[in-house]
Amino acid sequence: MTLTPINSGWIEVICGSMFSGKTEELIRRLRRAQIAKMQTIIFKPRIDSRYSDTHIVSHNQLKLESHIVDSPLDILTLSINAAVVAIDEAQFFDNSILDICKTLANQGKRVVVAGLDTDYRGIPFGPMPHLMCEADYLDKLRAICVQCGNPATYTQRTSADAEQIVVGELDKYEARCRNCYEPPGEIK
């Protein structure tokens, strides 16, 4: 049995590789909060413009209207009237996102954060490790390995790009399991 805090805020983190359903799960939780007539607000970083400039969109095209922000401070300002604050693609924010999430939770808000836990090199991504440690609830989702069908926890970059942040989809990334993942520079 999971107890839900009463008269208290908390932080939920949804993490995993690309194609694991993070945004889909974020949308599911927000829709349930909306059915419960809770005031919700959703944010995503400006860098994530893959599907829409005005919505968070899952790979299977589920979507909810969102606010694009340049800085985590914008989230604090825009969330004053919300009971539930959702943040997608949190790995793209700087480390100040952690303090913003803690402040919102301390204000009694439910904060739901989704993001990649590791980058294409298998290295912890941006503020996600800190958010995972601070989470009151933590869910690590798995995708399906495109090579063998096993549960996948790695994001394999298939393009030659070397920067840490390269926004893309199936054109640049695949989900891979531990056995099929090929770290950059290694050839199996």
What CATH number does the domain containing 111 carry?
3.40.50.300
Q: What is the pLDDT of residue 64?
A: 73
Residues marked active site are found at 89
Domain assignment present for residue 149? The answer is no
What contacts 93, CB < 8 A, 6 or more positions away?
Answer: 45, 72, 87, 126, 127
Q: What is the pLDDT of residue 171?
A: 82
Q: pTM of the prediction?
A: 0.89
Q: What is the pLDDT of residue 121?
A: 96
Structural domain harbouring 134:
10-141
pLDDT, averaged in runs of 10, over the chain (188 residues) = 70 97 94 94 83 62 80 96 96 97 98 97 97 98 98 95 82 95 77
Domain assignment present for residue 156? The answer is no
Q: What is the pLDDT of residue 167?
A: 77
Domain count, the chain: 1
